Amino acid sequence: MKYIDGFRDPAVAAGLRARLDAVAAGLQAWNRPVNIMEVCGSHTMAIARYGIRDILPKNVTLISGPGCPVCVTPTSYIDIAITLAERGAIVVSFGDMIAVPGSSSSLAGCRARGGTVEIGYSPMRAIELAEAHPEREVVFLAIGFETTTAPVVAMLELAIRRGLRNLSLLTAFKRVPPALTALLSDPEIRIDAFLCPAHVSAIIGADAYKPFVETWKVPCVVAGFEPLDILYGILGILEQAARGEAAVANLYARVVTAQGNVHAQSLMAKYLEPVDAAWRGIGVIPASGLGLRPEFADYDAGRRHGVVVGLGAENPACACGEVLKGKQRPPDCPLFGAACTPDHPVGPCMVSSEGTCAAYFKYIVN
């Protein structure tokens, strides 16, 4: 536990706070807040859990980004997964997806009505089930950012090697860099810097943020998920801002390298290719997803079962889209805390344990 406690040391936190205050004081001349987007849902959760928003200098604003894969998965994806389970397939999913509302039901509801919906802690669960039930179709709900994509593809490779014919992926993989481009291109959103995700960066590498630094001149700082990591990451951003610089800084070097996990990258490239993808609440972002290459169409649940994931119906009052883009804070949504709670989520940002609304509901004091 020393390894963890070292990244939660109150004395070091106090020292970092003092430095944050000092650097932020020098940024008063901006006459507006420095807007930092934390892209990743795990950062959003850690920031809320450690009360970090509460201690930041007044002229520093944290905006929660779209980095929760469950939150950005479109309603129609849930609907299709339910349809496949109703047609008799064994649907295998990570636990977070189970309670997410589709347009009329959730996978939990489908399971209660007799559909086979299995929760897997590892993608390998899909292989176990496909081998145990050769007479049934097994569909793995393949959602996630690069961090999750890599192990799912590793599972697919193993399934192909073992000659499994009854296993397919319903893909809704998302890529972080195209989403950042879309956010930076939106004239309604002002982002001064990115606090870049920790584990996604372990796969794609810190160098993946270089284009943003070069084209958009926004500092990109990779930070870990511990509270001191986050404070240190924000300090790194403010120091760049104070110097008028924009650079990629990897402050999570104990896990992330410049190149990332090259083996995972080549495995993903072997099986997957960029596709346009629908982000719940945001819309379609070009080349922001990964789909199976045509030569692996047999393993594509969409092609195999003749289903296409579109955007699906949303509750018009739900502000998840604005929240995911950082345009609104969760309490600004009329449904937040009233019609939409973790027990009865309307929007995806509330149902996922890493969703921005869930983080606000659970932890935020004011």
Partner 1 sequence: MSEQTIQLGHGGGGLLSRDLIQREIVSRFGDGALKGLPDGATLPVPAGRAMVFTTDSFVVQPLEFPGGNIGDLAVHGTVNDLAVCGARPRWLSLALILEEGLPMTTLRRVLDSVKKAADDCGVAVVTGDTKVVAHGQCDGMYVNTAGIGELMDGFELGVGRVAAGDPILVSGPVGDHGMAVLAAREGIRITHGVTSDTGPVHRLVQGVREWAPHIRFMRDPTRGGLASVLNEVVEGQATGILLRETDLPFSAGAKAAAEMLGVDLLQVASEGRMILVCAPPVSEAILKVWRGMPEGRGAVKIGEVTATKGRVILETITGGRRLVDVPRGELLPRIC
| Interface contacts to partner 1, rule CB under 8 A | 1, 4, 8-10, 13-14, 17, 48-55, 227, 231, 342-343, 361-365
Quick one: 52 or 167, whose CB is closer to partner 1? 52
Quick one: 55 or 160, whose CB is closer to partner 1? 55
- Cβ at position 228, least distance to partner 1 in Å: 8
- Cβ at position 218, least distance to partner 1 in Å: 25
SS3 letters across the chain: CHHHHHHHCHHHHHHHHHHHHHHHHCCHHHCCCEEEEEEEHHHHHHHHHCCHHHHCCCCEEEEEEEECHHHHCCHHHHHHHHHHHHCCCEEEECHHHCCCCCCCCCHHHHHHCCCCEEECCCCHHHHHHHHHCCCCCEEEEEEECHHHHHHHHHHHHHHHHCCCCCEEEEEEEECHHHHHHHHHHCCCCCCCEEEECCHHHHHHCHHHHHHHHHHHCCCEEECCCCHHHHHHHHHHHHHHHHHCCCCEEECCCCCCCCCCCHHHHHHHHHHEEEEEEEECCCEEEEEEEEEECHHHHHHEHHHHHCCCCCCCCCCCCCCHHHHHCCCCCHHHCCCECCCECCCCCCCHHHHCCCCHHHHHHHHCCC
- Cβ at position 345, least distance to partner 1 in Å: 11
Quick one: 6 or 283, whose CB is closer to partner 1? 6
- Cβ at position 217, least distance to partner 1 in Å: 30
The whole-angstrom separation of Cα 176 and Cα 297 is: 24
Quick one: 16 or 126, whose CB is closer to partner 1? 16
Quick one: 233 or 321, whose CB is closer to partner 1? 233
- Cβ at position 30, least distance to partner 1 in Å: 23
- Cβ at position 14, least distance to partner 1 in Å: 7
Alpha-carbon Rg for the chain in angstroms: 21
- Cβ at position 69, least distance to partner 1 in Å: 16
- Cβ at position 254, least distance to partner 1 in Å: 16
The whole-angstrom separation of Cα 219 and Cα 86 is: 47
Quick one: 8 or 293, whose CB is closer to partner 1? 8
- Cβ at position 191, least distance to partner 1 in Å: 23
Structure-block tokens of residue 48: 């809320």
- Which residue, among 88, 170, 81, has the nearest Cα to 137 in the 3D structure? 88
Quick one: 233 or 289, whose CB is closer to partner 1? 233
Quick one: 53 or 174, whose CB is closer to partner 1? 53
Quick one: 49 or 243, whose CB is closer to partner 1? 49
